[in-house]
Structure 1
């Protein structure tokens, strides 16, 4: 029995941060808009197509962007709005898609393999896109193909606010005229190497013997050659809200000492936030769990703006604890859980202090990776019983 024909759709919200800003302020429509941090120290998070025409790109220092496009309107970030719209689109897709992956806050893959027995995959995808646009007013593009790689490249070619279907068997033909740096992973150095070999387009790449590419680029050369043939076997990983990172502690002695319990809560929240960053994820939901000596277990959760930062998670965890805890009653177990995880795609440069704060977290995590997770602690979590770090 033949395997069912693979169909993978890739959806990408166009200039997501800019699009949300325009919904909040319609007067920005059609103008050169840059979303990001301050003029002096900020970094570009997103730019409208009108700004991109002047060479403005994501991750560019704001100073450089404003030199290229001095008339651009600079808009600060409202991450709560981004979280809300991302969830809205996720809910629409989740209600319809048989299997989908939330690749980032504004990017989704949908696996429609075998569904052609029941409906036309292209019509279904077009209808879903129309529903997202109608309900959220956000522009969104998609590519439909037989694998994730081709679908994503098709989305890029379909932008802004369009769609493109690469029919089965046409993958190589579709890719052929495109520049080789369309493949993710082809950085500046690899691109220079390929051009020095006379390889400018994906067609050039596909016609170069695999042995030549491997000799010049090692194993990656072989990977690039297979990509140039339109071959990619990446799976769509099902998105589950239940996917989480958690930490629990059953105490040797039941405790009603609020200061001690809060110290433990801060320690555990710091630990799960560290795990979150190691997995390069963001969380959109945090829960606190309390178990009493009679084994009665209660928990409370709340949705939050997507984050990976201790200083944003800890106050929410403490607030949940106070709402949940029956004061004066001993606690047997305390736990904290982060869920609604998505890939790290929120640009931290939305706030002026973000870059400095992210560098701080990276430095802290580097120390933990080198000397152990307990080598650095929040002051609140250090007790008189703690030995000094060696």
Structure 2
């Protein structure tokens, strides 16, 4: 049975949410982001015409498009709208995977005998628009890679079907940058060797690609040849992420406990960023030697940045620990999660901070989660 995998992507999602709230923004150049030293979280097609792109420093974006209106953004609203879109799609398809806050994979394999898959997806897209007011694009093909590339090529408000016998024709002329796993470093490496189009990459011997890019070479070569057997994983919403530490001996050593909390926050934040989560509620728990357990929490702006979350954790711990009594356990829980944001705080982070955390995460990816960290988390 031929697979039928669709990819759906909400068009300029944050901008569309703002326009749904305020119709006066329709057709105007919009940048979603925060602060002069912040970066662009999202931008309208009107600003992209001038070269503005996501993750670009706000100052540079404003030089390119001085007439753009900068909106700080409302992650709470975007999360609610994402949940609404998810519910609309989930009601109409057999298998749904939520890949991020604004994109989805759908497995319609075998459904064509009941109803044409392309027509099915067209009706799903229309239902999203009707129920939420948000424009959405989709592409339908035999696997995730081709359908995702297809969505990108069809935007805005695109609807595209790439049949199996047309996959190579569709992919061949495109830049290798269109392949989801090709970042700037890989692109620069391959382009220096003359490998700039997907066709050239697909015709390069797989052994050569492996030597050039390492362990991911085979996967990259397969994607260039339109091969991707990755399944659509049914969606389930993660509620929280947490950790706690029970001491071998009850303690009143505040310095040691702050150090442990620092290490906890760092490890949880690394996991958050690896899984592309942002958190909006911070909970700290302590258990005294007499087994009395107390918790406190803060509602915060969405983030996955160590330095931001650690500040709140320290404040909560200070408010919690009010007795002159030994502690046997401390714990942290992050809840109110929203999935799929590649930055730590879309509306507050500076380019320097984002670069710092990305570099640290790459080191941890390669050498282990304990290979680099804050000094405050090592004094134990």
* Short-chain TM bin: 0.7 to 0.9
Query: TM-score, normalising length from structure 2?
Result: 0.74
Q: TM-score, normalised by structure 1?
A: 0.73
Structure 2 unpaired stretches of 5+: 318-322
Alignment-derived partner of residue 279 in structure 1: 274
Are 2:90 and 1:94 equivalent residues in the alignment?
Answer: yes
Distance of 1:374 and 1:199 partners within structure 2: 40
Give 2:339's match in structure 1, choosing from 333, 342, 358. Answer: 342
- For residue 151 of structure 1, the aligned residue among 147, 154, 163 is 147
Partner of 1:34: 31
> Where do 5+ consecutive residues of structure 1 fail to align?
322-326, 378-387
In structure 2, the residue matched to 1:239 is: 235
The 1:136–1:270 alpha-carbon spacing in structure 2 relative to 1, beyond 3 Å, is: same
The number of residue pairs the alignment matches comes to: 371
Counterpart of 2:101 in structure 1 is: 105
Counterpart in 1 of 2:116? 120
Q: Which of 133, 137, 159 is residue 141 of structure 1 equivalent to?
A: 137
**Per-residue deviation at 1:226?**
2.6
Residue 76 of structure 1 corresponds to which residue in structure 2? Answer: 72
1:22-50 CA deviation, whole Å, 9 max, x = no partner? Answer: 223322211222222234x1222222111
Task: Describe the shift of the 1:376–1:129 C-alpha distance in structure 2 as closer, same or farther (beyond 3 A).
Answer: same
- Larger of the two Rg values belongs to structure: 1
Q: 1:23 corresponds to which residue?
A: 20
Aligned-pair distance for 1:241? 1.9
Task: Report Cα offsets for 1:217-264 as digits up to 9, x if no partner.
Answer: 666655444323211122222322246533245688999x9x9xx989
Provide the residue aligned with 1:385 in structure 2.
none
Secondary structure of the structure 1 residue equivalent to 2:81 = helix
The answer to whether residue 347 in structure 2 is matched with residue 376 in structure 1 is: no
Residue 7 of structure 1 is matched in structure 2 by 4
CA deviations over 1:5-33 (Å, ceiling 9, x no partner) = 21111111111122122223322211222
Say if 2:268 is the partner of 1:270: no
Structure 1 residues 129 and 315 mapped into 2: Cα distance closer, same or farther (>3 Å)? farther
- What is the RMSD computed on CA atoms of the aligned residues? 4.6
Partners of 1:310 and 1:191 lie apart in 2 by 30
Question: Does the 8 Å CA contact 1:300/1:320 hold for their aligned counterparts?
Answer: yes
Cα 1:125–1:335 change in 2 (3 A) is farther
**CA distance in 2 between partners of 1:222 and 1:37 (Å):** 40
Greater alpha carbon shift after TM alignment, 237-246 vs 338-347: 338-347
* Alpha-carbon separation, structure 1, partners of 2:16 and 2:244: 40
- Partner Cα distance (2:213, 2:307) in 1: 43
CA distance in 2, matches of 1:176, 1:50: 29
Q: Deviations over 1:352-376 (max 9, x none)?
A: x555665787799889955788962
1:122-145 deviation line (CA, Å, top 9, x unaligned): 222211111111111111111111
Q: CA deviation at 1:164?
A: 0.7
Contact 2:143–2:228 (CA under 8 A) maintained in structure 1: yes
- Aligned counterparts, 1:109-258, within 5 A: 109-188=105-184, 190-191=186-187, 194=190, 199-210=195-206, 213=209, 222-242=218-238, 244-248=240-244
Residue 384 of structure 1 corresponds to which residue in structure 2? none
Counterpart CA distance in 1 for 2:268 and 2:222 is 38
Do structure 1's residue 50 and structure 2's residue 42 form an aligned pair? no
Q: 1:320 to 1:235 in 2, by over 3 A?
A: farther
